[in-house]
Structure 1
Amino acid sequence: MTGDRPSWAPESIDLDRPNAARIYDYLLGGAANFEQDRVFAEKLLEVMPLARSAARLNRAFLRRAVRFCVESGIRQFVDVGSGIPTAGNVHEIAQAVDPAVRVLYVDNEPIAVTHSELLLNDSPHAAAMRGDLTDPDPVLASPLIDWSQPVAVLMVAVLHFIPDSAAPYDAVAKYVSAMAPGSFLVLSHGVENPSLAGRDEVERLYRQSSNPGVRRTPDDITRFFSGLDFVEPGLVWTPEWRPESPEDVGAHPESSLVFAGVARKP
């Protein structure tokens, strides 16, 4: 596949192995993905048809959460594990309310960073950097963010790709410790569901990718919010978090597969 490498794809990436950010991009209808990602995504949809709608519901949660944070006075955002830019990015949502809002995108996937940099060429208050959620220090050192002032830290659909062996709870706690009072943590995470059809097959598929998934229970996910106060309605299925209309929730919110919550640092 190396002969098909587009000019914008960094040489450091492995195009022959599916990647979670690029799979997610495909599920959302984006174009920054490759054949192996698309093949993987179609196999995923065969065993779990809900995957595409779950991705879109998760993205919709992100948009609502960003608007909530801006309306609550937040004027700087750190999107950790931001993925590949698609319509309705954090800076587009936030800066529609206040053009001076600052946004730092962080991802360890080179294509996500490359696309973000291209997208942000003309945006003086937004930037992208390559970094890892489990290594907070470089992110906390970014000159774009003033950690003495309230900030919203977003970790949306990323932690379920980080195993406990990489100490994600410690990493999240370090971000929370750096946040000023009045800051928010915005988080979503796939939920362990033993009765979910296709569950074992999905796990097998992801073991073949560069981002094997991690199973966590609602209690496990709640632990990431330690020391913070949940904003109503707490930790819920993505469509249940402050929906714009009752119809947005539907009869089976659990079909979204993902729990989401926003919490404030007191």
Structure 2
Amino acid sequence: MAGHTVGAGTNPLEGAALGMSLLESFAKSGAALTIATTHHGELKTLKYSNEVFENACMEFDEVNLKPTYKILWGIPGRSNAINIAERLGLPSSVVDDARELYGAGSAQIDEVITDMECIKKKYGDLLQEAQNNLTESKNLYEKLLLARRNIIEHGRRQRLRKVQEVANAATTARSNLHQKGRELRASTIEYTSPSAIDRMQRAGINSNNRTTAGKKDLMALRRQISSTSDISQPQSEEPLFPTVGDTVYVSSFGKKATVLGVEPSKDEVIVRVGSIKLKLKFTDIMR
């Protein structure tokens, strides 16, 4: 429901009283939303005696003398007739007399309304600034979360890379160590076998530059090797690799173990320590 200039066209006091009574009757009857426009100042006080009422006004630009078409909720409107008349060039004496006739009380009310408008505007500006700051804070918070996740992920990747580098280095070192061990065992077998001595002897016999001292040294070396049980009885020498059923010592456990299987090509042996079955490198066991 809309009412335009409630209580107009009659004595202002009577019109104001009639308008207030009419609006209060609407409120008591539970009427739908009612919008009433008026210049009666008394109607503006209904808000302070009954909470179902609310004041509002249209903002007016006094500098440019035109409305801004913005609704200001909670602020009662005020008349700008005297100010507009002054801006339009009405003689100052007439304007001053009008202000005097209008009364100091009404002027004070207008000042209060003006102050309320200023406070309302400042509040709106502060509210907008607070909303902007809140939005900026949310954006900054999201950026900080993203930066934190990136730092954590970067640290995780760096740790994984370091672990992989150490693992690769350990694998390479272990492989080199095993290769050196195989080469050492192979060279030991080659240079201590009787066939190697025979080859050395034949090479000495076929040489045109052999000497008696060289022959004596060669024969002495052969007698020395032949005198040992390992060379004279090759069938009894200790095998290079453990065999199934052998008992070995696992240094990492500090216990003895039984050999279940041997894989010479991989330098690996399968053992049982108690009830545990393990696959170990030859370097991890002792016979």
TM-score by length of 2: 0.17
TM-score by length of 1: 0.18
Q: Which has the higher contact order (CA 8 A, sep 6+)?
A: 1
| Higher Cα Rg, which structure | 2
